[in-house]
Structures are given as C-alpha cells and as structure tokens.
Amino acid sequence: MWTRWKPSVPPGPADIRFVWEKNGRALETCVPVQTHALPNGRAHALSWLQDAIRESAEYRCSVLSSAGNKTSKVQVAVLRPEVTHQEKWTRELSAWRAVAGEHDRMMQSWRKAWESCSKDTL
C-alpha cells in the first residue's frame, strides 16, 4: 500500500527544515522539500512522504525553524478484510480438524472396546 501525506505548513522563515518520523523513529530516506522565497525572509515550504506500508503506522512531520516548531501527526490504518477473513477461516478449519480428529480417536477406542466385549460374550 502506498500512502502520501502532506502537512499544511503556513509561510514562515527561510531556515525551515522538516523531520519525518514513522512510529517514533526518524526516517533516513530523502524526503522531497519544495520552498518558495517570500518577502521579508519568509518562505512557503512543502514536504511530502511516500511510503510502502504493510501494517498500520503513525507518521509525524515536525517543522523546525528559528520562529518556532510545529508537529503534525497522522495514523494510517491498514485494513485487510480479505486476509482477516482468510485467517479466520483457516483457524476455524484447523479447529474443526482437531475436533474431527479427536472424534475419530474416540470412535476407534469405542470400537476396540466394543470388539473386545463381543469376543468376551461369545
């Protein structure tokens, strides 16, 4: 699954930098940043992240500058109902196999007991 997330960053000072985290760990990948200089030393900046994920994750984007810091976060939930359904079916099938196996062992035990009783009465 690919996900893209762009935090909304208002215009700010030109010394702005972004720090991206995934599940509390700083990302070392090269994250694109676009800046556009504005009058009075301010700048408009945009950064985005594209990631292939297999499980739910929390992403944080911190914007750091001499004017202050701001952090945004988003929780991305990966839902796989087809896998969940398959896993549930596999568990149920396994449970039924265990029950059928136990029933078969019990029937074999009864059969042996029945056969031994039949031999004793003849």
Residues 35-59: pLDDT tens digits? Answer: 887 787 777 788 888 888 888 999 9
35 plus 86 within the same structural domain: no
22, 55: one domain: yes
Amino acid at 7: P
Report which of 56, 63, 55, 57 is spatially closest to residue 20, judged by C-alpha positions. Answer: 63
How far is it, in rounded angstroms, from Cα 42 to Cα 29? 26
Query: Dihedral sign, CA of 84, 85, 86, 87?
Result: positive
pLDDT of residue 2: 47
Q: What is the pLDDT of residue 58?
A: 94
- What DSSP element (H or E) covers 18? strand 17-22
| 65 and 25 part of one domain | yes
pLDDT at 120: 61
What's residue 59's pLDDT? 93
Alpha helices (H) along 11-80 = none
3 assigned to some structural domain: no
Q: Are 25 and 65 in the same domain?
A: yes
Residue 4: how many CB atoms within 10 A of its CB?
A: 8
- What whole-number percentage of the chain has pLDDT above 90? 16
2: in domain:
no
**Which structural domain range is residue 23 located in?**
12-76
Q: Is residue 5 part of a domain?
A: no
